Structures are given as structure tokens and as C-alpha cells.
Amino acid sequence: MTPQEMKQLAELLQNVPGIRSIELKDVKGLAQLLREAPEIGSIEIKGWFGTGVVITRTSAAPSYAPAVAVPLPAVVQQAGAPAEAAPRAAAPMLKEIKSPMVGTWYKAPEPGAESYVKVGSRVTAGQTVCIIEAMKIMNEIEAEITGVIREVCVEDAQPVEFGQVLFRVDPHG
């Protein structure tokens, strides 16, 4: 996101009902945080009336440069608010398998066992790809898509948040 785009975003947010004000330095700070912390998948700010800003990383850009989606009223959208940054055409369109809950992520059914999946593994929709332990219950997480695992985004026994990206899958692989 260029400094000019950040400034335009901050100016648009000043006029959105439900968001009192957001300073350009705050938007810059959020964008910088996303650049420096690869473990952060998104930052979301919501106003009182469902308005807000959602900053997420694009899975297609190798540098994980943040894209910006601004869910604003249609009038503001027509005024030039960025909708969603388009991924680069040359990069494959990877799909993400995200955590459906908060808990501890495990790559295998038990310590010392082989991982459910690895980079390069082919998965089918409905196949178990990992376990998330929540409140002493082991929850098998299934792939929602068919494809080839291109990236495992978490380490074994790492805490995960709701919506955190666990895997990136190439559906065309």
C-alpha cells in the first residue's frame, strides 16, 4: 500500500458513520505491523454500524504485502475506496485452510506419529489435515478444498487463533 493510498483511506474513514476518526499515522502503523509480523493474518476495525476496515495479507504476493478491503457504504465505494487488491497474475491462486477455533495445533494424531499432511501432499475435501486441541478435546480439522499443500503456516504444538491461516493449498496442483 503506497503512502498516498494510506492517506486516501484515512481521509475516507473520517467520513464513515460509526468510525469517529482514524489518524493516518494509525493506518501507517497497522500496515507496518502487518509487514513486520508475518504471523498476523489480518487486522479488523469495526464501527458501530457495521462499517470498518479490514486489512489482510494476499496469499499470492511472495512478499506478503498487505491488501486492503474497506467494507463501506456503496456511496463511499463509488468515491474511490479500494475494494480488494488484485493478486498478481503470475502467482498461483492459493486457497487457505483457516483455523475454525482457538486452540493448540498439532500436525499428527499423536506424538511421534507421521504428520497428516506436509508441503507437497495432495489433499481432498473432507480429509483430516491436522488436530486442534481446545479445552482438552482433540478436534480433527478437515480440508474444505482439494489440491496440493504448498505451505504449512504453523509449527507443531503452536497456539492458533480463530481464522488464522493453517495451510495454503494450490487447487490446480
Neighbours of 117 (CB within 10 A): 22
Would you say residue 90 lies in a domain? no
Residue 10 belongs to domain spanning = 3-78
Q: Where are the extended beta strands (E) located within the chain?
A: 42-46, 52-57, 66-69, 95-98, 103-106, 122-123, 128-134, 137-142, 147-152, 158-160, 165-170
Give 133 or 12, the one with higher predicted confidence: 133
Q: Is residue 87 one of the residues assigned to a domain?
A: no
Q: Please check whether residues 12 and 70 belong to one and the same domain.
A: yes
Q: Say yes or no to pLDDT of 23 above 80.
A: no
The residue behind cell 513486520 is 36
Kindly state whether residue 83 falls inside one of the protein's structural domains.
Answer: no
| pLDDT bracket for residue 17 (50, 70, 90) | low
What end-to-end distance do the CA atoms of the chain give, in Å?
30
Between CA 16 and CA 98 the distance in angstroms is 30
- Cell 485452510 sits at which residue? 97
Pair 34, 57: CB distance under 8 Å:
yes
The amino acid sitting at 78 is Q
CA max distance for the chain: 56
Total domain count, the chain: 2
Per-residue pLDDT band for 33 (boundaries 50, 70, 90) equals confident
CATH number at residue 161: 2.40.50.100
CB 31 within 8 A of CB 66: yes
Torsional sign, CA 119, 99, 90, 55: negative
Q: How confident is the model at residue 79 (pLDDT cuts 50, 70, 90)?
A: very low
Is position 11 within any domain?
Answer: yes
Report pLDDT digits (tens) over 61-77: 333 334 444 444 333 33
- Identify whether 145 is part of a domain: yes
pLDDT in tens, 94-151: 999 999 999 999 999 998 999 999 999 999 999 999 999 999 899 999 999 999 999 9
pLDDT given for residue 138 in this prediction: 92
pLDDT reading at 27 higher than 90: no
